Amino acid sequence: MRILFYCIRKVFDMGSKISSFGKTADGKEVSLITLVNKNGMGIEVTNYGATLVAVTVADRDGRIDDVVLGYDDVTDYTLHGGYLGATVGRNCNRIHGAKVAIDGKEYILDDNENGNNLHSGFQGYNSLLWDFEVIEEELAVKFTHHSADGEQGFPGNFDITVTYTLTEENEVKIHYCGTSDKDTIANLTNHSYFNLGGHGSGDILEHTMWIDSDAITVTDARSIPTGEIRDIKGSPMDFNTPKKIGKDISADYDQLIQGAGYDHNYVLKNQGCGLRKIAEAADEKSGRVMEVLTDSVGVQLYTGNFIDKDSRGKGGAVYQPRHGFCLETQYYPDANHHENFPSSILKAGERYDTTTVYKFRVK
Ligand code: BGC
């Protein structure tokens, strides 16, 4: 029966569709764009925050479930924190002291977390209404935003596109591309919380995780990098050999205690080698596997430690801390305060161009 349902969906839903996702508080119409590929896998994205709202993909028995946390309409996205599925920028993660010097000039940013800047402050890209265009023949949606000089406190007119493509290889490909007329910071990510058992299926502690990394950027009690790059081989942070997320999450280890679980930037191997596989998560129960590919230098493993307790998501699903995990590809947090970290400065006139792929299969 399930298989039959799946085949019917394949035939009828293939392609793209635009529907209403409600209105913002100031009355602006928001859209939800659905893309479905030939295999029956689907994604939903909205122009509010260029957000990934849903990823519907079959398990090993052909049962389709939605594997990202999210909300049913735009209102809920505006009322809740957590950046569910959002595009985060111009700079993701934290900047110490909410200020940064670029070419010798200091820029003041929003202090929206304990004296620091998190995810670019109060008006992040996650809360903007983006322009968009559906590219039907590529099963893609291209979001565009002109980020004016001074927006969020950053210098330079930054024109940015974020393109989501659903491929026939069951990949959600996210391509970020932009240029600025002044040197600026460019460091965008996607903040999806994945749960391969289905977004309403409980915690992710039984998921198996692999990350191609031997080191993390160590953080202090406020999640600000200290500058230390720590070798984690053999420690509870190590995912070089696949292990359950829950195995060591409560270990007596400074970084895990401070972060209330995993909330750390992993220093990726093979930097400068272009798009390569950097992580894989698997849910034994459903058989779903998600590979992550990127050309970035770092990835934040965040195990949803601060998801609002008892919050209500899509279809009334109840979300709790650790009901989803994020793999946020990025430059190392607070890169511009540490000379030993790769710089996240985009030079005027040069191109910011980075791709991350979340690829699904079953085993
Ligand atoms: C950060 C977490 C934060 C979460 C939601 C993640 O990228 O690393 O510390 O709680 O975003 O804001």
pLDDT in tens, 211-266: 999 999 999 999 999 999 999 999 999 999 999 999 999 999 999 999 999 999 99
- Ligand 1 proximity of 300 Cβ (cutoff 6 Å): yes
Active site residue 199: no
With beta carbons less than 8 A apart as the criterion, state whether 359 and 171 touch. yes
pLDDT digits (tens, 9 = 90+) for 55-83: 999 999 999 999 999 999 999 999 999 99
| Per-residue pLDDT band at 36 (split at 50, 70, 90) | very high
Q: How far is the CA of 191 from the centre of ligand 1 (A)?
A: 9
- Ligand 1 proximity of 253 Cβ (cutoff 6 Å): no
Distances (CA, A) of 173 to 150, 168, 218: 30, 11, 29
pLDDT digits (tens, 9 = 90+) for 76-118: 999 999 999 999 999 999 999 999 999 999 999 999 999 999 9
Instruction: State pTM to two decimals.
Output: 0.96
Task: Return the ligand 1 atom nearest residue 118 CA.
Answer: 12
In terms of DSSP H, where are the helices of 118-263? Answer: 254-259
- Ligand 1 proximity of 163 Cβ (cutoff 6 Å): no
Task: Look up residue 174 and give its two tokens.
Answer: 């996210």
Task: Look up residue 243 and give its two tokens.
Answer: 């292990």
| Per-residue pLDDT band at 13 (split at 50, 70, 90) | confident
With beta carbons less than 8 A apart as the criterion, state whether 109 and 100 touch. yes
Length of the chain as a residue count? 363
| Per-residue pLDDT band at 14 (split at 50, 70, 90) | confident
Instruction: Please give the DSSP secondary-structure letter assigned to residue 325.
Output: B
Spell out the residues 6+ positions from residue 103 whose beta carbon is closer than 8 angstroms to its own.
183
| Per-residue pLDDT band at 345 (split at 50, 70, 90) | very high
Task: Return the ligand 1 atom nearest residue 88 CA.
Answer: 7
Q: What pLDDT is stored for residue 128 in this prediction?
A: 97
CA dist 292 and 264 (Å) reads 16
Q: Is the pLDDT of residue 3 over 70?
A: no
Active site residue 169: no
Mean pLDDT of 320-339: 98
Q: How far is the CA of 11 from the centre of ligand 1 (A)?
A: 39
- Ligand 1 proximity of 223 Cβ (cutoff 6 Å): yes
Q: How far is the CA of 168 from the centre of ligand 1 (A)?
A: 31
